A and B are shown apart, each in its own frame.
Chain A
Amino acid sequence: GAVVSQHPSWVICKSGTSVKIECRSLDFQATTMFWYRQFPKQSLMLMATSNEGSKATYEQGVEKDKFLINHASLTLSTLTVTSAHPEDSSFYICSAMGPKVYEQYFGPGTRLTVT
């Protein structure tokens, strides 16, 4: 149980275009999901907290107009990288909070490459 999926697992897009990444909790409902960014050989950096039915809470330094987060249902959160640039290339990982507040289940990640 407690499986989180991400789609796509790998995406290449051209500079200036937008790309959407989906995060789904497959066998449980998640009122709260999180989006992380990970640079090569570095730790995870929390970008934002996504709550179902309300606006996401962004961490300091994260551009909310560039990284649009939507949590429209209890099993789906999406991250849209708008007007992507090569510096947005990274590994994006989502997680979903389980029934116990200290539990987070992580997705497999999405590698974004902007050319």
Chain B
Amino acid sequence: AQSVTQLDSQVPVFEEAPVELRCNYSSSVSVYLFWYVQYPNQGLQLLLKYLSGSTLVKGINGFEAEFNKSQTSFHLRKPSVHISDTAEYFCAVTPYSSASKIIFGSGTRLSIRP
């Protein structure tokens, strides 16, 4: 079975400051990794994904994430945040063997202060 842990339920950050949202996963099989963003009262939008290859993945809106297999982590980073980045962020995994089933973390609420 797979599980995803997002240690921080809320992360307050000042505008233009850097941010890191942490994600750790557990799986006995190989997985694909994702970060999704959810703006208030909206569905999920894919920020970025790791399938294979380079462990540093760049996504939309200036976000990037680094896959660390030894630490089973996939932390999301942005060097300078904007007010518009205020949203809920979900880390997720999909096992290779059952690539249709997404296991989501509990989410991290990123709030940007001016």
Contact = CB atoms under 8 A, between A and B. Distances in A.
Interface of A: 4, 6, 32, 34, 41-44, 46, 49, 91, 93, 95, 97, 101-102, 104, 106-109, 111
A109 B94 contact: no
Nearest to B94: A102
Contacts of A102: 32, 49, 51, 94, 99
B35 interface: no
Given A102-B32, A102-B49, A107 B100 contact: no
B42 A108 contact: yes
A106 B105 contact: no
Contacts of A106: 36, 43-45
Interface of B: 32, 36, 41-45, 49, 51, 90, 94, 99-102, 104-107, 109
A93 B44 contact: yes
Given A44-B90, A102-B51, 20 more contacts: A4-B43, A41-B107, A41-B109, A42-B107, A43-B104, A43-B106, A43-B107, A44-B104, A46-B101, A49-B100, A49-B101, A91-B41, A102-B94, A104-B100, A106-B43, A106-B45, A107-B43, A109-B41, A109-B42, A109-B43
A60 B108 CA distance: 26
Contacts of B44: 44, 93, 95, 106
Interface of B is mostly: loop
Contact of A42 (B43, B51, B94, B106): B106
Interface centre among A32, A43, A109 (most CB of B within 10 A): A43
Contact of A104 (B90, B102, B105, B106): B102
Nearest to B9: A41
Contacts of B45: 106
Nearest to A104: B102
